[in-house]
Every structure is written in C-alpha cells, then in structure tokens.
Amino acid sequence: MSPRRRAPALAALFIALFFAVASNTMVLTGLPQIIGDLDGSPLQYTWIVTTSLLVLAVTTPVWGRLSERISGTRLLMLSLGLYLVGSVGAGAALDPWTIVACRVLIGAGAGGIVTLVQLIVTDLTTPKERPAYFGALGSITSVAAILAPALGGIIVDLGGWRWVFWSTAPVALIALVMVWRFAPSVAPQHSARGRFDVAGTVIIAATVTVAMVALSLLQRMPVLAIAVGVLSLVLLGLAVHIEHRAAQPLVPGALVRNRHLLLVLIASGVGGVAAFGTSVYLAMYFQTVRGATAGESGLLLIPLSVATLVASLLAGYVVTRTGRDRAVLIAGMVSIVAGYGMLAFLGRDTPLPFVVVAGAAVSLGVGAVGQQLVATGQRFLRRDQLAVGSALILFLRSLATVLCLSGFGALLAFVASQSPESSAVLDGVRLVFIACLGVGAVGFTVVLALPSRHRDERTSAGNVPITSRNEPETAVWSTTPE
C-alpha cells in the first residue's frame, strides 16, 4: 500500500486494538456501582471481570484459523461488530447476568481484534520495518491495560457505570468504518482445507473454563476445587486426543513440538502475567495498604504506562536497526525479574518512589518483550503456519493471564483468611509479587535458550524472513547459536 493509504488503515487498527485491550479492565472501577445498582452478588462480580478475558483467550486461535479461510479484514469488521453489540447491550443491562452474557460478545470481539490486527499489520508492512510497528502495537496494548482502570474511573464519575460500556461503542463504530474504508481486503494465501475443528474448539474452551473455576474455588471449597481440577485434566487429555486426530486442528501438534516456538509460547505467557501483575496488584497496594484514593492510585501508575510505551517503541527501533531480537528479549526479562525482585520486599512504609521505580522496571520489561515475541515467533514458522502460529502465541499470553489472575486471587483469599485484616492485603500482594518473580525467572531462562540471528543473515539472499502471508516463497530465518 502507498503511505497515504496505509496511514489511515494503521490508525484504524491501532484505535481498535487500544479499546479491545482497555475493555478488559475499564470495567473494574465501575463494578462496585454495577453490583450495587443491580443487586448483584460476589459471584457475579467475579464473572463480570473474568468472562471477557476468558473468552478473549479461548477465541484467539479460532480467529487465527478462520483467517486461513476468510479475509482478515472482513473478520476484523465482524469482530468490531461483536464488540459494538456487546458494549451497547452491557450498558443497557438490567441485571448482572445480562452483563456477563454481553461480556462474552465483548471478549469474542476483542479476541478477534487482538489477533487480526497482528496479522493485518504483518501484511501491511515489510520485514525490515515490521519490528517497529510491532513495538507500537506493544506500547498500545500495555498502555491500554494500565490506563484503562483510571479512564473507567473518570467515566464512572462523570456519567455513571453504563457509560463505561457505551463510551467505547462509538469508537468501535468509527474503527469499523475506517477498516471498511481504508484496510485492504487480502484473500488468504493458504486456504485451509477440511472441516473446521469445532470439537477441538469446544473442548479447549471447556478445559480453560473448568480450570479457571477450579482456581476460583480453591480457597473456599478445596475438595470441590480438586474435583473440578481433575475434570479439567480429563478434558485436557480429551482435547489432546481430538487435536491429534483433527484434519485442521485448532492447536496443531507440529507447532507445539517446535522447540523454538515452544520457548516463545512460554515467554509470551510470562509477558502477559507480568503486564497484569503490576497494574492490578500495585493498584490494590496503593489503595488498600497505603490509603490512596482511586485517582491518586491512577496517577502513581502513570510512570508504568510511560515506561511501557518507551520500551515498546525502543525495542521495535532496536530490532529494526540491528535485527538482534534475542538481546532485546533477554534485556526485557532481566528488567522484569529485577522489578519483581524489588517488589517482593514491599512493606507498609516502603518509600513510594521505590515502589514506582520497581513497577516501572517491570513495565520496561513488558514493553520490550510484549509484541516482539510475536515477531520473533514468526521466524520459526512456515508461511502456511503464520496465522495459527501467531494466534497461538497470543492465546498462550491471554491464557496465562487468566489462569494466573485466578490463582493469585485464590492466594490473596487464602492469606486473608490466615492473617489479621490489617496486614492481609500486604502479605498477599507481596506473595503475588514473589510468585511473579518466579514466573519472570522462567521467562528469562527460556529467552536465553532462543537462537539468535544477525543483521547480515536477515538481509542476505536466501534468508529473507517469512513474516508475510503475501510475500513470494522464500527460506525461513537463518538461526545460529550465540
């Protein structure tokens, strides 16, 4: 595309991505009002929060597989339509379960937006400039996740909780029109054959849902949680069996057996956990332990947003200029580990500048690794695996986020039952950060094991990266150990 046509197309994609990610956490500040106005229960409170994240995670590989059969631009317009309908419906809801149902539509639409934006940007950009654009996508994703609660709080204060949903509807409509007007309609280059893997989709969705339920029950009803956990393992075994026999599996076994891609998948999960670990639990620490207001907490989180933005853009620039993605990923994981190492020592009187610097260190790492992992994972994929492989990276990130947030919630509830009320939150948050420190160490280990590539390999004949579904047939990235 010419620069004049590509600019508005990318603008539409960026707008859609921002609000797709923001919708997951914008609702948090309006939840007390929602539950109070609609006479909701704690169970409904939990499901309003987690439903969208869960559906986003489960539908990510589905959208990736569909993009092999249908134009990604048309699918993105469908995703924006689902998001728009869900937002309007949730704002007009008269009971909490209606909001939960609408959050299913919002999550499905957001899953499509997050997945398809990555694939369309891959098609719109050249291999040389792509890391810079993926860096921009990473900054949008992370900043949206961190700023959304504060933005939601402002909207609730000005217009009430219904506008948390309604305010995103016109933006989704604008993005839909811009995508329809400016984004190119590119036909799939590798049309999938055979029946769509409906059975695998259903079983994988059931497995993830049951696992999340087991984690949420762990503190209150441990015996039932164990039984539900066993059921999730049975469903996991059934999913593996179905995927092994499917002609076009939702999660191809060949990708999971790809050692280098498997390392990227694990690292992607670490990045997702780190992104939400700081924004969610530092906000809890500021408000509950330090007595900050919601507005003050939002201001204290602004440096985290700035750090993520700077690191994402800088990582994209460095990888574009040097081609050394592995070095950027290692530096990002080191920053995550260092930040959580500092947060593991939080106390009631820890200086706030120390806390903010520690959170910013984690955010720097998240910005460096977030979207660059998608670009790195693409160099271990054949062209016909690009759509489902990229979606799988995003799926593991969302899945790890959902399951870890559920697990962290169970951990906080357990600590609260064992400690005096005055110190329960502090002890629980500190344990969450220690757990995140361990997760970050795993991420550092796996990116250290990734092969590197050098700039001369990236530009030499016969070693052009396969990162666009519309480029002529070429060889895969040449990789050499450090």
CA-based R_g, the chain, Å = 21
3-state SS, residue 146? helix
Residue 480, strand partner residues: 452
- Positive or negative, the CA dihedral 344, 338, 299, 45 is negative
- Positive or negative, the CA dihedral 289, 437, 336, 411 is negative
pTM for this prediction: 0.72
- The pLDDT score that the predictor gives to residue 193 is 57
Other Cβ atoms less than 10 A from the Cβ of 373: the count is 32
Please list the rounded mean pLDDT of every run of 10 residues in the chain (482 residues): 71 82 72 76 68 80 79 86 90 87 88 84 74 75 71 77 84 83 65 66 80 72 81 85 75 75 85 78 78 72 82 82 83 91 86 90 86 78 73 78 75 69 74 88 88 50 38 35 35
Neighbour-count burial of 229, counting CB atoms closer than 10 A to its CB (0-12 exposed, 13-18 middle, 19+ buried): middle
Residue 452, strand partner residues: 480
Neighbour-count burial of 394, counting CB atoms closer than 10 A to its CB (0-12 exposed, 13-18 middle, 19+ buried): buried
- The pLDDT score that the predictor gives to residue 3 is 64
CB 348 within 8 A of CB 426: yes
> H helices of 183-293, where?
198-217, 222-245, 253-256, 259-284
- The pLDDT score that the predictor gives to residue 357 is 92
Compute the distance between CA of residue 176 and CA of residue 30 in angstroms, rounded to an integer: 26
CB 412 within 8 A of CB 429: yes
Other Cβ atoms less than 10 A from the Cβ of 45: the count is 15
- The pLDDT score that the predictor gives to residue 455 is 39
* Residue in 376, 369, 391 with CA at minimum distance from that of residue 443: 369
- The pLDDT score that the predictor gives to residue 229 is 82
| Residue that the structure tokens 């603008």 belong to | 11
Spatial neighbors of 221 by CB under 8 A, at least 6 apart, are none
- The pLDDT score that the predictor gives to residue 481 is 35
What does the angle CA 56 – CA 61 – CA 64 come to, to the nearest 5 degrees? Answer: 115
- The pLDDT score that the predictor gives to residue 338 is 93
CB 436 within 8 A of CB 274: yes
The CATH H-level (homologous superfamily) assignment of domain 3-185+192-197+247-459 is MFS general substrate transporter like domains (1.20.1250.20)
User: What are the phi and psi torsion angles at 41 (to 5°)?
Assistant: -115, 165
